[in-house]
Structure 1
Amino acid sequence: MISEKLFQGYDEKFISNQTVPLPNLSTKQNDDLVLGEKGNKVIKYINYSLQQSASHKFPFYTATNIDGIQFKKVPRKDNWRKDTRLSQEFQWGKELYSAPKSDFDKGHMTKREDVQWGETPGIALNAANSTFYYTNAVPQHKNLNRDIWRSLEDYILHTETKRNELRICVFTGPVLSSSNPYFVTPINGKQIQIPSLFWKVVIFQKEDGNLYRVGFMMSQNKLLQENHIIEELESDDQLFMQFKDADTYQVNISLIEDITGIEIPKAIDSYTDTRNTKLVLEEIDIDPDLESDSIEYELGFCIKNIQL
């Protein structure tokens, strides 16, 4: 049992001499929040926090502090469970992930290793274990969760943050939209919508003392269709539907804000793209049948401008 005293959550003062607040939700999203035991809107864990949607039963986003200096290597213990501090009716659990045709992973929004740091290995282990709450999971196709998206996460943590001994803040989430496709298997007699799009924003400090940010987005729509996991939903939301065939790539932060309705903390954008959305998708779309030895090459193209 993890001590509640360790559940301090995301620290907005984590990067020295800077403040990186939590993202701002829209009025509609705020009205859809799941409240904690004391009526708190932000649910705190160890080294990360999240805000949970009551209607979708998935997080709007997770906010994570990553310390490249205090990272510890500890064993993995998969122990998925619902958070007893929240109403059970607003969390998906085994009923979703063990249902017929649930051929997807429990996709961590806050990566286990990202919070795997602290003054002692014990704290790091508890932090890693605290990522196995269902509130931190969203269904993800295994080909994305275990390959290209994981490669992006590993690049941010191991190649940049650990190597350069950085402190960074990372925001991650699904796009919770009425345009999302339906899961083919009803849960408790009700149809549910599976997020097609996921996004990630990294905020970091450069040697000039300023904060910078870079964003990424991916789509699993094509993979879910190929496995007959989803039923397509007709939609007039043209902006959302433009991303049907995308995979993982770098995007403007403003695009993430437009699609999610969430305001990302301000910082200098280290990447801007003036091409239209469809052109970007066509150029960096990754083949679902991409061989694993080609992933690193493709990922290098997608993140060529991050350079934390």
Structure 2
Amino acid sequence: MDHAGYDPFFLGPPLPLPVTPRPTEDLPSTHFTVLFDEHHKLAAATAVNIDGSQLLDLPRNDRWELDPRVPADRQAGPDVYRANRLDRGHLVRRADPVWGAPDVAQQANVDTFRYTNAAPQVDDFNQGKQLWVGLEDHVLEYAETWRQRVSVFTGPVLRDDDPVYRGVGVPRHFWKVAVWASPDPDAPSAGVPDDRAPKLKLAAAGFLVDQSPLLAGLDLDEAQRAARDVDAPPPLGPFRTFQVPVSTIEELTGLDLGPAVDADVLPPTRALGEQAWVTLTEPSDIVV
């Protein structure tokens, strides 16, 4: 297993791992790192480097395994997903770290199928979830088309009041921050003492997906109790996807996302109030 993990200097200007509000364990894998929260039995955040110039198209293996670095009873394992409508949702998307030499890319492919890189998501591929997948495709296609490097942070919004199913809180929101580097003649060189070195600045975009139940006129607590009585997953709603300020993701999660906040591409005039949440219906709605 390659434990190199996420590279904070991958883009040139430094982009450190998110800083979590509670203790987590760093789990480095091939081209990505999982920040694992044993209290919630899920990742608090993940960070992956994508090199669009070296991506490989490898087949899925679809063999999920417990992560040997975490006690089995401290990770949301196969029992959470058995005989129900919950998906094992990749946090680091399978295709994102699959680049480089074939043996390295294959190891990255395998590494993404650990339960420490999964979180329970509703299985309905309604329009909203298709859009979330489309958003992930959009990031990957951008990297590949322009042979660009991109770093992506992803995770669930972990709350102590998340509905509990089989001993695991089921997140109602997931977030993603994509970060890339663009030319900036005013920026210092990226750690290279050479006037010919490209001068770069970071740019970032933040996204939030909501799978909260839309139960107009219904008692959510009662619906959750009824689900528990029959060992069913908690009620979840159709996915709704938004572009949001990176600072909003910090507020929701308690994470410190470092320079990604100041690199946000959302116009400053949209950084206040609910108007900052851009509802996405197709990838062309994304503000870049």
Same fold (TM over 0.5): yes
Aligned position for 2:68: 84
The whole-number CA distance in structure 2 between the counterparts of 1:165 and 1:301 is 20
The structure 2 residue matched to 1:195, chosen from 143, 164, 171, is: 171
Are residues 105 and 65 of structure 1, via their aligned partners in 2, closer, same or farther at CA, if it must alter by over 3 Å? same
Q: Deviations over 1:45-65 (max 9, x none)?
A: 111001111111000000000
* 1:155 counterpart = 2:135: no
Q: Which secondary structure does the structure 2 equivalent of 1:140 belong to?
A: strand
The structure 2 residue matched to 1:177, chosen from 144, 150, 159, is: 159
Per-residue deviation, 1:93: 1.1
For the 8 Å contact 2:61–2:110, the answer to whether it is kept is: yes
Q: Which secondary structure does the structure 2 equivalent of 1:89 belong to?
A: helix
Aligned position for 1:10: 6
The structure 2 residue matched to 1:49, chosen from 33, 45, 58, is: 33
Are residues 92 and 246 of structure 1, via their aligned partners in 2, closer, same or farther at CA, if it must alter by over 3 Å? closer
Aligned position for 1:129: 110
Please tell me the residue identity of whatever aligns with 1:168: V
For the 8 Å contact 1:248–1:302, the answer to whether it is kept is: no
* 1:168 counterpart = 2:155: no
Q: Percent identity?
A: 32
For the 8 Å contact 1:141–1:224, the answer to whether it is kept is: no
The whole-number CA distance in structure 2 between the counterparts of 1:12 and 1:280 is 28
* 1:24 counterpart = 2:19: yes
Q: Which secondary structure does the structure 2 equivalent of 1:74 belong to?
A: coil
Which structure carries more strand by proportion?
2
Please tell me the residue identity of whatever aligns with 2:4: Q
The structure 2 residue matched to 1:109, chosen from 88, 91, 94, is: 91
For the 8 Å contact 2:129–2:239, the answer to whether it is kept is: no
Please tell me the residue identity of whatever aligns with 2:182: K
The whole-number CA distance in structure 2 between the counterparts of 1:265 and 1:161 is 22
Please tell me the residue identity of whatever aligns with 2:42: F
Q: Aligned pair count?
A: 252
Quote the RMSD (CA, aligned, Å).
Answer: 2.5
The structure 2 residue matched to 1:250, chosen from 243, 247, 260, is: 243
Q: Deviations over 1:96-147 (max 9, x none)?
A: 0105xx31210000000000101x2222122111100000000112226961
Aligned position for 1:217: 208
Q: Deviations over 1:246-300 (max 9, x none)?
A: 71110001110001000102142211424532x566x72x7xxxxxxxxxxx223
* 1:271 counterpart = 2:266: yes
Aligned position for 1:59: 43
Per-residue deviation, 1:150: 0.8
TM-score normalised per structure 1: 0.75
Which structure 2 residue ranges, 5 or more long, are not aligned? 185-199, 226-236
For the 8 Å contact 1:82–1:93, the answer to whether it is kept is: yes
Q: Deviations over 1:17-69 (max 9, x none)?
A: x211101112xx12xx3xxxxxxx31111110011111110000000000000
* 1:141 counterpart = 2:137: no
Aligned position for 1:291: none
The whole-number CA distance in structure 2 between the counterparts of 1:146 and 1:123 is 30
Please tell me the residue identity of whatever aligns with 1:222: P
Per-residue deviation, 1:210: 0.7
Per-residue deviation, 1:7: 2.0
For the 8 Å contact 1:10–1:65, the answer to whether it is kept is: yes
